[in-house]
């Protein structure tokens, strides 16, 4: 019990560490995050439902290519509400919502770890946890509101019931298998339709190995399907108001005739049948096997340990879920458009069988020098993978300039009251919208105070700095001078494109790649260049960070690397601009100085 609790605490701590290190979000997380915010902010409309939803909810303005389910946001908002009420004014609700999701991800991993310990022993459970947490993608995305994250929580929970446990009465074990099938069916219907492929392979394997009867599979599948379909049809038809003329989607034979909407059916038709997802890029058939899976597992030793785990599993090879796992990835490889998150559900199973193989070798470390050396490699690979994962986390934390820019802006708003009685209107360019702009950040900064602004005091609160976003993308509109008349603030990656008199008050420095220093080239902590941020005729120029090298104080570069070294390139990616109203006061300590932008 103590071991399992310790592993669970470690899983939760790792996920929350990733959350705090990279608290902002990107565009692919937008729907679920905005939907959760809107449910928390506006609640459920009881009168004039269609008009209320269209006026307040983000998905009517930005519906996306296909509809997404509101089931996850409804549950998440309900669980987050009490915590948000407690921390209101001290922490932005975005952190709370992501934290709650991270907790459920950790609980699903802990449930799976308990099943691993019962089936394969404590050593395998410990090794599995260390392998899993030293990876990057699964801990990093466990608190991110992707549809795949909701599905991953449920699929991992399902696998915890599908693992065979020695000593379990056969009738009870069949019941566990049925629960696993039920959860996978529910998840396929509500959250991610591609899991139906994995469900089919698992069901066939359970039938062929005679661990369940066909009636068991049908009963569990029908129950999960009916309950899942009833929930998604009821909730999503309400939020999407699919029976109104304003409905952005029509699913043939469903919406047009019944007024109901089933998001995952729409997504399946769009992606698999119409192959519209290819508009976002295509990859070769082997991409998942040669790129995504090695990237997801991160530790290259795991790819070598998986075969050993399958062959030497304490359970029979026929009970291994490796065949359904690889079958799912193989069949899904048929679709030209590929993303690692579409197959992330198989990571716990692949990591498990690598752990089984690792345990088999560790248990034989005293039998021969080969086993001893291999055991040393296995143990050593964990901190090395953790170090690589930490480096990826550090790099990723610099990939959200939009969110950081909005957070910085909030700390200037209290000291710069708007010229009108309405909330300050802030224009966000495309890069800002894609790298962190959320409705949660529209309401308040991530934290009540920030060291970035000289105006911020320890008594600052979240409420006074609420703003209004403008996300206009149309180039013709943006080139119209009258458009900028009521825009008081701008967060942009291209200040020269802004029309009007605006001063730069701050900026966001972000990741710009790696620089390789050659022999004889000086390695310093900081290099500076001049870059144009205003009109050329106005001489608007600004210093920007273009590189940070690591100081070599131990002669490593000269004696071991023969003059070569690697440094990190950082550049200003986003600027915070304020409209000039008469005389402009220069800010001390602001990141942007007093340059001008626009014409």
534 or 361, which is more confident?
Answer: 361
133-137, 160-164, 264-268, 444-448: least confident range? 444-448
Give 186-232 pLDDT, tens digit per residue. Answer: 999 999 999 999 999 999 999 998 899 999 999 999 999 999 999 99
Cα 234 versus chain centre, distance: 27
Residue 218 pLDDT:
96
Asked whether residue 106 carries a pLDDT value surpassing 80, the answer given is: yes
Closest CA to 402 of 429, 440, 442, 439: 429
Say which residues have a Cβ less than 8 Å from residue 85's Cβ, sequence separation at least 6: none
- Give, in order, the Cα–Cα distances in Å from 511 to each of 78, 394, 399, 577: 36, 10, 6, 21
> Residues 309, 121: contact at Cβ < 8 Å?
no
- pLDDT of 599: 32
* Nearest C-alpha neighbor of 372 from the set 381, 359, 380, 362: 362
- Displacement of CA 23 from its chain's centroid (Å): 10
Q: What is the pLDDT of residue 528?
A: 37
DSSP letters for 469-512: EE----HHHHT-GGGGGG--EEEES-GGG--S-EEEEEEEEEEE
On the question of pLDDT at 374 being above 70, the answer is: yes
**Residues contacting residue 559 through CB under 8 Å, at least 6 positions apart:** none
pLDDT tens, residue by residue, 198-207: 999 999 999 9
- Percent of residues, the chain, with pLDDT higher than 70: 80
Phi, psi of 532 (to 5 degrees): -80, 130
Structure tokens at 599: 């014409």
Q: What is the pLDDT of residue 91?
A: 87
Looking up tokens 């509809």 gives 67
Residue positions counted in the chain: 599
Is 137 within 8 Å of 296 (Cβ atoms)?
Answer: yes
Sign of the four-CA dihedral 439, 441, 446, 449: negative
Report how far residue 97's alpha carbon sits from residue 103's, in angstroms, rounded to the nearest whole number: 10
Note the pLDDT tens digit of each residue in 478-537.
999 999 998 999 999 999 999 989 999 999 988 877 777 777 666 554 443 333 344 434
Q: For residues 166 and 132, which has the higher predicted lDDT (pLDDT)?
A: 132
Taking the C-alpha atoms of residue 374 and residue 379, their distance in angstroms, rounded to an integer, is 9
Q: How much is the pLDDT for 459?
A: 38
User: By mean pLDDT, which of 236-250, 258-272, 442-456, 546-560 is the weakest?
Assistant: 546-560
* Predicted local confidence at residue 423, as pLDDT: 81
Which of 45-54, 161-170, 482-491 tops mean pLDDT?
482-491
- Give the tokens for residue 282: 């295509």
In 3-state terms, what secondary structure has residue 121? Answer: coil
- Tokens representing residue 102 in the block: 């991270």
Concatenating the DSSP letter of every residue in 268-304 gives: HIIIIIS-GGGGG----TTHIIIIIHHHHH--HHHHH
pLDDT at residue 248, as a whole number: 57
CA distances from 543 to 269, 526, 529, 540, 547 (A): 50, 12, 6, 11, 12
Q: How far is CA 532 from the centre of its chain?
A: 34
Among 51-55, 137-141, 240-244, 365-369, name the most confident range.
Answer: 137-141
d(CA 556, CA 595): 41
- Identify the band that residue 585 occupies on the pLDDT scale cut at 50, 70 and 90: very low
Q: What is the pLDDT of residue 533?
A: 42
pTM of the model: 0.87
What is the average pLDDT across 419-428?
Answer: 77
Query: Residue 449's pLDDT is what?
Result: 58
DSSP H helical ranges for 312-368: 322-332, 347-362
Instruction: Name the least confident of 50-54, 72-76, 79-83.
Output: 50-54
Angle between helices 170-190 and 147-162 (to 10 degrees): 170
Q: Lowest-pLDDT range, 26-40, 45-59, 455-469, 489-503?
A: 455-469
Residue 595 has pLDDT above 90, yes or no: no
Q: Residue 575 to residues 202, 483, 505: CA-CA distances in angstroms?
A: 51, 20, 8
**CA distance linking residue 37 with residue 131, whole number of Å:** 34
Question: Average pLDDT in the 320-346 region?
Answer: 93
CB atoms within 10 A of CB 179: 17
Q: Please list, in sequence order, all residues whose beta carbon lies within 8 angstroms of the beta carbon of residue 219, skipping any fewer than 6 positions away.
A: 178
Q: Strand 502-517 relative to strand 596-597: parallel, antiparallel, unpaired?
A: antiparallel
Q: What pLDDT band is residue 451 in, cutting at 50, 70 and 90?
A: very low
So what's the pLDDT on residue 252? 53
- Helix (H) / strand (E) element for 546: namely strand 541-547
Q: Are 155 and 184 in contact (CB under 8 A)?
A: yes
Q: Mean pLDDT across the stretch 443-456?
A: 61
Question: In 194-317, which ranges are E strands?
Answer: none
* 544 half-sphere exposure, CB direction, 13 A CA radius: 22
Rounded Cα–Cα distance for residues 247 and 232 (Å): 17
Q: What is the DSSP string of 33-64?
A: HHHHHHHHHH---SSSHHHHHHHH-GGGTS--
What is the DSSP track for 407-464?
A: HHHHTTTTTS--SSSSPPEEEE-HHHHHTT--HHHHHS-SSS--TT-TT--TT--SGG
């Amino acid at each position: 019990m103590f071991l399992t609790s310790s592993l669970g605490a470690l899983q939760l701590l790792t996920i929350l560490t990733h959350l705090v290190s990279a608290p902002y979000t990107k565009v692919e997380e937008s729907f679920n995050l905005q939907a959760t915010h809107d449910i928390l902010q506006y609640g459920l409309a009881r009168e004039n439902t269609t008009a209320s939803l269209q006026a307040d909810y983000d998905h009517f303005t930005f519906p996306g290519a296909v509809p997404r389910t509101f089931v996850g946001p409804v549950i998440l908002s309900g669980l987050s509400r009490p915590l948000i009420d407690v921390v209101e004014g001290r922490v932005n609700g975005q952190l709370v919502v992501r934290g709650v999701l991270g907790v459920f991800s950790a609980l699903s991993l802990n449930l799976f770890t308990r099943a691993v310990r019962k089936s394969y022993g404590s050593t395998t459970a410990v090794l599995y946890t260390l392998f899993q947490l030293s990876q990057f993608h699964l801990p990093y995305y466990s608190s991110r509101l992707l549809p795949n994250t909701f599905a991953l929580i449920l699929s991992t929970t399902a696998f915890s019931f599908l693992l065979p446990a020695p000593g379990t009465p056969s009738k009870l074990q069949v019941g566990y298998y049925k629960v696993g099938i039920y959860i996978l069916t529910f998840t396929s219907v509500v959250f991610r339709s591609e899991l139906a492929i994995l469900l089919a392979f698992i069901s066939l394997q359970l039938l062929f190995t005679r661990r369940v009867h066909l009636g068991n599979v049908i009963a569990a599948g029908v129950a999960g399907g009916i309950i899942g379909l009833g929930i998604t049809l009821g909730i999503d038809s309400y939020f999407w108001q699919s029976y109104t003329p304003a409905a952005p989607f029509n699913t043939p034979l469903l919406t047009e005739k019944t007024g109901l909407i089933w998001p995952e059916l729409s997504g399946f038709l769009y992606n698999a049948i119409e192959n519209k997802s290819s508009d976002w890029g295509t990859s070769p058939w082997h991409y998942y096997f040669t790129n995504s899976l090695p990237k997801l597992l991160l530790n290259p030793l795991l790819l070598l340990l998986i075969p050993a785990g399958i062959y030497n599993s304490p359970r029979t090879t026929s009970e291994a879920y490796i065949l359904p796992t690889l079958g799912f990835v193989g069949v899904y490889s048929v679709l030209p458009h590929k993303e690692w998150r579409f197959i992330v559900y198989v990571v716990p199973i692949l990591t498990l069988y690598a752990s089984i193989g690792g345990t088999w070798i560790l248990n034989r470390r005293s039998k021969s020098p080969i086993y001893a050396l291999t055991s040393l490699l296995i143990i050593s690979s964990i901190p090395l993978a953790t170090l690589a994962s930490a480096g990826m986390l550090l790099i990723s934390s610099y990939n959200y300039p939009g969110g950081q820019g909005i957070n910085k802006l909030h700390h200037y708003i209290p000291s710069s009251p708007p010229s009108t009685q309405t909330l300050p209107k802030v224009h966000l360019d495309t890069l800002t919208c894609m790298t962190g702009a959320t409705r949660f950040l529209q309401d308040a900064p991530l934290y009540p105070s920030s060291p970035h602004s000289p105006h911020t005091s320890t008594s600052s609160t979240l409420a006074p700095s609420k703003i209004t976003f403008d996300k206009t993308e149309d180039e013709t509109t943006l080139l119209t001078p009258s458009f900028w008349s009521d825009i008081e603030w701008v967060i942009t990656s291209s200040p020269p494109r802004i029309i009007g008199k605006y001063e730069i008050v701050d900026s966001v420095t972000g990741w710009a790649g790696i620089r390789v220093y050659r022999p004889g080239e000086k390695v310093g902590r900081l290099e500076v260049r001049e870059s144009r941020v205003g009109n050329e005729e106005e001489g608007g120029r600004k210093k920007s960070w273009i590189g940070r090298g690591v100081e070599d104080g131990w002669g490593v570069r000269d004696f071991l690397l023969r003059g070569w070294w690697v440094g990190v390139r950082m550049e200003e990616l986003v600027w915070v601009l304020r409209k000039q109203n008469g005389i402009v006061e220069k800010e001390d300590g602001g990141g942007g100085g007093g340059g001008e932008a626009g014409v």
